[in-house]
Amino acid sequence: MSKQHINIDDIPIESLELVDVRADDAEKITRPSLSFWKDVWMRFRKNKLALSGVVLLILLLFMAIFGPMMTPYNYYENNLEAVNEAPSAEHWFGTDNLGRDLFTRVWEGARISLFIGFSAAVIDLFIGVIWGGIAGFRGGRLDEIMMRAADILWAVPYLLLVILLMVVLEPGLTTMIIAMTITGWINMARIVRGQVLQLKNQEFVLASQTLGAKTNRIMNKHLIPNTMGPILITMTLTIPNAIFTEAFLSYLGLGVPAPLASWGTMASEGLPAMRYFPWRLFFPATFISLTIFAFNVIGDGLRDALDPKLRK
C-alpha cells in the first residue's frame, strides 16, 4: 500500500481547513459492473481443462458439419472393391465391410449422435422445467401427484420400457429420441422442483407477489432465471449420457436403421471385426469418448464457476 508519511510539524495550516464533502461521492461504486453471467464466464475462463473441453466440442461440431464434405465419398454407397481397407491417403479412417469410407461415416455419425444428444437435452429441458416448475411452485397436493407420477415412471426398468417402445414404434431417429427422453426429463424435473421449492420463499419472490405479480411472471422473471445454473449443468451432463445410451441401445440392435450411421451403430458393427480391422471400432469409440469427455469437463467447469460459495 502507498503509505505516505508526513511529519506532523510540516503540515501547512491551510490543509487543515474543513471542506465540504458531497455525500454522493460515498455512494460511488468503483468496481466495473458485472452481470452474473459475465462473472461466471470470468471464472470459467480460468479453468483450463473446461476451456479445452469447449475447444474440443467446437472442433467436433465443426467436423460434424464439414467433415462429410471433405471426401468424395458418401456414407451409404457400397464399394465392394475396397472392403475393410486400413487407413490410407485414400480413406483416412479406412473402410468398413461394405467398402464405405469410415471418415465420412464417422462425421455423418457425429451429426446423428450429437443431434440425438442435443434434442434429448432440449426436450428434457422443456418437459422437466415445466413439470418441476409447476410442481415446486404450486406445492401441496398437486406437487405430490406430479412427483409420484414421475417416481412411478422412473421405477419401471428402463430397458423394458425401451424394448416395449421399439415394439410399438418403428426403429428410427424419432423413436430413439423418444426412448432417450421418456424418463430423461424426470431428472431435470426433480432438479428444477428442488430449486423452485427453495426459491419461492425467498424475499424477492414474496416482494414480487406483494406487487401483484402473477404466476407466469414469477416463473419467468424470478424462478427460472435463478435456476438456470443447475439447469445448464444438468443439460451438459444429459448430452453425453444420451450419446452413451444411444451407443448402448445400438449395441443391442435397437439403434438407427442402416444405412444411417451413428457412432453407436458403427461401434457395434466394428466390434466383431475388432481383431482384424481394429480401426472400424477405434474411430467411433474414440469420438464417443472424446465427446463425453468434453461435455463432462464443461459441466464440471460450469459447476465450479457457478458455485455461489466462491462468489463475493
Partner 1 sequence: MDKVLEVKDLEVSFFTHAGEVKAVRGVNFEVRKGETLAIVGESGSGKSVTTQSIMKLIPMPPGKFVGGSILFEGQDLVHKSDREMESIRGKEIGMIFQDPMTSLNPTMKVGRQIVEGLMKHEKISQSDAKKRAIELLDKVGIPMPDKRANQYPHEFSGGMRQRAMIAIALATKPKLLIADEPTTALDVTIQAQILELMNELQEEFGTSIIFITHDLGVVANVADRVAVMYAGQIIETGTVDEIFYNPKHPYTWGLLSSMPDLTNEEEELTAIPGSPPDLVNPPKGDAFALRSAYAMKIDFEYEPPMFQVSDTHFAKTWLLHRDAPKVEPPPIVQKRIQYFREKKQGKGEPNGSR
Partner 2 sequence: MAADREKIVQVKNLSKHFNTGRGNVVKAVDSVSFDIYKGETFGLVGESGSGKSTTGRTIIRLYEASGGEVIFNGENVHGKKNTKEMLKFNRKMQMIFQDPYASLNPRMTVADIIAEGIDIHKLAKNKSERMEKVYELLVTVGLNREHANRYPHEFSGGQRQRIGIARALAVDPEFIIADEPISALDVSIQAQVVNLMRKLQKEKGLTYLFIAHDLSMVKYISDRIGVMYNGRLVELAESDELYRNPMHPYTQSLLTAIPRPDPDYERDRKRTHYDPKKSNPHDEEVEFREVTPGHWVAFTEEQYNRFVQRKDQ
Q: How far is the CB of 49 from partner 1 (least distance, A)?
A: 18
Grid cell digits, residue 105:
461415416
Of 4 and 216, CB closest to partner 1: 4
Q: How far is the CB of 13 from partner 1 (least distance, A)?
A: 5
Grid cell digits, residue 138:
404450486
Of 23 and 168, CB closest to partner 1: 23
Q: Is the peptide bond before 284 cis (omega within 30 degrees of 0)?
A: no
From the list 12-20, 73-81, 132-140, 267-275, the region that binds partner 1 by CB under 8 A is 12-20
- Residue 95 three-state SS: strand
- Residue 75 three-state SS: coil
Task: Give which of partner 2, partner 1, none residue 10 binds (C-beta under 5 to 8 Å, depending on kind).
Answer: none
Q: How far is the CB of 84 from partner 2 (least distance, A)?
A: 56
Of 36, 37, 38, 46, the one binding partner 1 (CB under 8 A) is 46
Distance CA 190, CA 131 (A): 9
Q: How far is the CB of 36 from partner 1 (least distance, A)?
A: 14
Contact 237, 299 (CB under 8 A): yes
Question: Which residue type is seen at 226?
Answer: N
Of 22 and 275, CB closest to partner 1: 22
Distance CA 98, CA 81 (A): 9
* 33 binds partner 1, rule: CB under 8 A: no
Grid cell digits, residue 20:
465540504
Of 20 and 203, CB closest to partner 1: 20
Q: How far is the CB of 40 from partner 2 (least distance, A)?
A: 11
Of 1, 155, 160, 211, the one binding partner 1 (CB under 8 A) is 1
Please give the residues from 89 up to 128 whose contact with partner 1 meets the rule CB under 8 A.
none
Phi, psi of 243 (to 5 degrees): -60, -40
Distance CA 274, CA 308 (A): 47
Please give the residues from 173 up to 202 whose contact with partner 1 meets the rule CB under 8 A.
none
Q: Is the peptide bond before 259 cis (omega within 30 degrees of 0)?
A: yes
Of 38, 41, 42, 149, the one binding partner 1 (CB under 8 A) is 42
256: left (phi over 0), alpha (psi -120 to 50) or beta: beta
Q: How many residues interact with partner 1 (rule CB under 8 A)? A: 27
* 2 binds partner 1, rule: CB under 8 A: yes
- Contacting positions for partner 2 (CB under 8 A): 23-24, 27, 29, 31, 33-36, 202-204, 206-213, 217, 221-222, 225-226, 228, 311
Look at residues 44, 120, 119, 40 and name the one whose alpha carbon lies nearest to residue 300: 44
140-155 vs 173-199: helix crossing angle, rounded to 10: 140
279-306 vs 224-251: helix crossing angle, rounded to 10: 160
From the list 20-28, 121-129, 192-200, 255-263, the region that binds partner 1 by CB under 8 A is 20-28
Which residues contact partner 1 (rule: CB under 8 A)?
A: 1-6, 8, 11, 13-19, 21, 23, 25-27, 29-31, 42-43, 46, 312
